[in-house]
Amino acid sequence: MLSYRHSYHAGNHADVLKHSVLTLCLEALQRKPGPLLLLDTHAGRGLYDLDSAPARQTGEAQAGIGRLWPQHAALLPASYREALREYNGDGPLRRYPGSCALLARARRKQDHALFCERHREEYAALEARYGERRGLRLHAGDGYAQLKAALPPASGRGLVLIDPSYETEADWRAVASAGQLLRKRFRAGVLLVWYPLLPPARTLLGALRALCTQGVSGWQAELTIRLPGGPGLAGSGMFVLNPPWQVDTLLQAEMPKIAAQLALAPGAGFRLQQHG
């Protein structure tokens, strides 16, 4: 379960979707001054070296964010684009900020962050980068367990990102259970779940859709770069529970253009489905 390393996949098409949705949701939530809890259950190491051997081995960043930067960077959400520029200037992409790096960069003084990571080496890198910051707490362990301890936040507002590797069947079940827990303990919270477009996603999505009842809405956004089949991941999705207002409209305006840039074969595209 701890063999997955995001260094092989940082900046790929799945990250483009995930980080577009994440930054748009955070931008929308931060339009109000009230403090937020920003909880990342699978934080990774934070910042990824695209010149590293793992990144060069797969070439996924080159086929992902590399197809958008810098010529089509205007399609990306502002804070996502600004983070890439902060780490790389306007030159070639050499460093890629993961989800928790985007959250840490955008966190305001009144916001509190909790980043969880189980892998020892990944956590060590995370701690070296963020271990001394006020308002930001790190946890070397199970991010799902931290949901019980951290929710609901005192402020009543927050965003939770769950994006495991889905290496085992247990991951799929744990995400569904986490969604149910958040629905019970933090009904007003914004939940973001990343998932690969693989057969087990049908069951997970059914469980997440079931949470969209009694005034709680949600939607799923999916980006594909080709039809299923063949090596590598053909596409992925983001399910958002309690989505901030108008994020779906912004995605529908720009993500089809992004999908066109990332397309590898017929069958590529973007779709967004509402629930609740």
Residue 11 lies in a domain: yes
CATH code of the domain covering residue 85? 3.40.50.150
User: Is residue 111 annotated as a catalytic residue, yes or no?
Assistant: no
Closest CA relative to residue 251, chosen from 225, 219, 217: 219
pLDDT at 257 over 70: yes
pLDDT at 5 over 90: no
pLDDT at 237 over 80: yes
pLDDT at 210 over 50: yes
Per-residue model confidence (pLDDT) at position 190: 98
Residue 162 lies in a domain: yes
Residue 96 lies in a domain: yes
Catalytic-role residue among 15, 111, 163, 171:
163
pLDDT at 255 over 50: yes
Average pLDDT, the chain: 95
Mean pLDDT computed over 6-21: 96
The token pair that represents 113 in the structure block: 């962050």
Residue 249 lies in a domain: yes
Banded pLDDT at 10 (limits 50, 70, 90): very high
Per-residue pLDDT of 166-193, as tens digits, reads: 999 999 999 999 999 999 999 999 999 9
Report strand pairing: 95-97 vs 112-116. Answer: unpaired
Q: How many helices (H) and strands (E) does the chain have?
A: 10, 10
Lowest mean pLDDT across 1-10, 19-28, 194-203, 224-233: 1-10
State the total domains in the chain.
1
- Which one-letter DSSP state was computed for residue 72? T
pLDDT at 33 over 80: yes
Per-residue pLDDT of 117-171, as tens digits, reads: 999 999 999 999 999 899 999 999 999 999 999 999 999 999 999 999 999 999 9
User: Which percentage of the chain shows pLDDT scores above 90?
Assistant: 92
Residue 1 lies in a domain: no
Per-residue model confidence (pLDDT) at position 2: 55
Q: With beta carbons less than 8 A apart as the criterion, state whether 138 and 126 touch.
A: yes
The token pair that represents 152 in the structure block: 């609901």
Per-residue model confidence (pLDDT) at position 39: 98
pLDDT at 3 over 80: no
- Strand, helix or coil for residue 166: coil
Closest CA relative to residue 11, chosen from 84, 70, 72: 84
Q: With beta carbons less than 8 A apart as the criterion, state whether 78 and 113 touch.
A: no
**CA dist., res. 85 & res. 187, Å (int):** 36
pLDDT at 1 over 50: no
Q: Residue 266 sits in which domain range? A: 6-275
